[in-house]
Structure 1
Amino acid sequence: MHTLLWILFSCFIGGLLSVTAAALVTMNTRTHLVSHLVSYAVGAMLGAVFLEILPHAFKLTNNIEATTFVVLFGILLFFVLEKLLLWRHCHGDHCEVHDMHQESHTSKDHQHTHDAGRSGSMIMVGDLFHNFVDGILIGSAFMVSTSLGIVTALAIIAHEIPQEVGNFLILLNSGYKKKEAFIFNLLASFSTVLGGLLAYFILESMMDWVPFILALAASSMIYVSIADLIPGLHKKTELLSTVFQVTLIVLGVASVALTQLIVEG
């Protein structure tokens, strides 16, 4: 099979498999459990950032200071983007987002709160960057050899599943329906194909940008975890809830570490 066809096939199937596998886990999750499982999403995202994405970026970069600057810049960028999303919903003294928060606290019918889609929107931006880089990595591997490309594609699929589970949970927590969450994650996964194509046609010039794109993807996950999700976890102060949250965060981190250990040995 031609190298380009291998790249396209691996990127497309890889994205489809990872999103579908994650969907099988989250689609059957009861709505009232989603707010609790956000703790797992926090752990999975932070695990992916500090155990996989940033170490990978530091290995590839020739300038660690510039790479860490991109992480800082990205966090500030996503802060501004979230402000723009807030301003879009807020007009004068009347704010649809704040009203929605207030209603979710007072209504007995609501089993969990959500953030009017803000954290879901942010994580989708980061996921686009991350999948794009995955495509570049798959394409680069196939340019070396078919066997290396296949192994790399399988490794990326395995690494993606815990992260995609976290993405689904965040989208559900942000108020998206399960079908919408699946479609958005599937569309975001197709940026892998674009990354693979760019790697094939302009590999050398794109490789210089990989550490910075990884850093930007990491910054989005850090921001969503710290700014949007963790504050919501602090609303439950009971000892049992706290232990449950910490346990799920640790499990989220462990799932990424375990997947990394299995794939990379």
Structure 2
Amino acid sequence: MVNFEITVLFYGTVAGLATLSGIVLMRSKQEWAISRSQYVNSFAAGLILALVFFHLLPEAVELSDIAFPTIFLGFFSFYLLENFIVIHSGSELHFHESDPCLQHASETNGVMAFTGLSLHSLIDGVIIGVGFELGTEIGILAALAVIAHEVPEGVTSFALINETLPDKSLILSVIVAVATPIGALISLLFIHSLTDNLIGILLALAAGTFIYISASDLIPQTHGTQNLKTMVAFLLGAVLIMVISFIP
């Protein structure tokens, strides 16, 4: 039991560190981070989609009769989260310094972005815990999927928050990163009491959110830069999941 808890917290912490690495890159090597982001996004998208279609979906369907509606719910929930909190926050990023009303509106949007990104990271941590409750293999694969998109999330977090709340951007971005291990810790409070049906529902929610992240956040950011390298990165992400699946 102790080993289980340590494992969940370990992978949750690694995911948080991945977010921190994205933040550090944006602070120290912003141009380099942006120029390489399409490859990271492509790799993460391939890895996440392979996890969803080869593991999360089959497991969710096997454990729950309402898996498919729940997948849609997960997808739609993140659609709402990003459109009304995170993406809305970026719609008015540029404001005139001399207009206090516009500056206040932008600061409010920054807080909304911080809230949405923190909630996103908390959910990622819970997904890691639920994955390990189902088994070590699915737990490691789920953790890899979370870790893969935490680096670009760190870049996004710092960019959004720094644009609207520059004086607090570092501390707020770090809180977003810390939210992932906190989510993993929270999952330990309830995952052992879950029925198979509830685990299936949570896996379906995770599948829906992962599909949304790949389709809406990761893949679109590679548009306009599509080349052989991004395609190879996508395939490498998918192949990594398949290779790990065959490791005894």
* CA spacing shift, 1:199–1:25, aligned 2, 3 Å: same
* CA spacing shift, 1:197–1:6, aligned 2, 3 Å: farther
Q: Deviations over 1:27-77 (max 9, x none)?
A: 67841312332211221221222222222212322x1xx211111122222
Superposed displacement of residue 158, structure 1: 6.0
- Amino acid in the other structure paired with 1:184: V
Matched positions, count: 219
* CA spacing shift, 1:249–1:181, aligned 2, 3 Å: farther
Q: What is the match of residue 242 of structure 1?
A: 227
**2:57–2:207: 8 Å Cα contact kept in structure 1?**
yes
Pick from 222, 231, 242: which aligns with 2:220? Answer: 231
Normalised to the residue count of structure 2, the TM-score between the two structures is 0.68
**1:44–1:253: 8 Å Cα contact kept in structure 2?**
yes
Q: What is the match of residue 190 of structure 1?
A: 182
CA distance in 1, matches of 2:111, 2:208: 19
Is 2:201 the partner of 1:212? yes
CA distance in 2, matches of 1:23, 1:182: 7
Q: What is the match of residue 108 of structure 1?
A: none
Pick from 146, 163, 168: which aligns with 1:163? Answer: 146
* CA spacing shift, 1:227–1:120, aligned 2, 3 Å: farther
CA distance in 2, matches of 1:210, 1:161: 19
Is 2:92 the partner of 1:96? yes
Superposed displacement of residue 195, structure 1: 1.9
* CA spacing shift, 1:182–1:51, aligned 2, 3 Å: farther
Superposed displacement of residue 26, structure 1: 9.6
CA distance in 2, matches of 1:88, 1:233: 21
User: For 1:96, what is the secondary structure of its paired residue?
Assistant: coil
Q: Deviations over 1:132-183 (max 9, x none)?
A: 2442454577xxxxxxxxxx3x863465235303221233145268977665
CA distance in 1, matches of 2:130, 2:63: 13
Identity of aligned residues (%): 18
User: For 2:190, what is the secondary structure of its paired residue?
Assistant: helix
Superposed displacement of residue 119, structure 1: 10
Is 2:122 the partner of 1:128? yes
CA distance in 2, matches of 1:127, 1:259: 24
Q: What is the match of residue 100 of structure 2?
A: none
Decide which structure has the larger Cα Rg and report it.
Answer: 1
CA distance in 1, matches of 2:87, 2:23: 31
* CA spacing shift, 1:72–1:184, aligned 2, 3 Å: same
Unaligned runs of 5+ in 1: 101-115, 142-151
- Amino acid in the other structure paired with 1:132: V
**2:15–2:150: 8 Å Cα contact kept in structure 1?**
no
1:1-265 matches, within 5 Å, as: 3=1, 5-17=2-14, 19-20=16-17, 30-31=32-33, 32-61=35-64, 63=65, 66-85=66-85, 88-89=88-89, 95-97=91-93, 125=119, 128-136=122-130, 138=132, 152=136, 156-157=139-140, 160-173=143-156, 175=159, 184-200=176-192, 203=193, 205-236=194-225, 241-262=226-247, 265=248
User: For 1:235, what is the secondary structure of its paired residue?
Assistant: coil
User: For 2:7, what is the secondary structure of its paired residue?
Assistant: helix
CA distance in 2, matches of 1:140, 1:252: 22
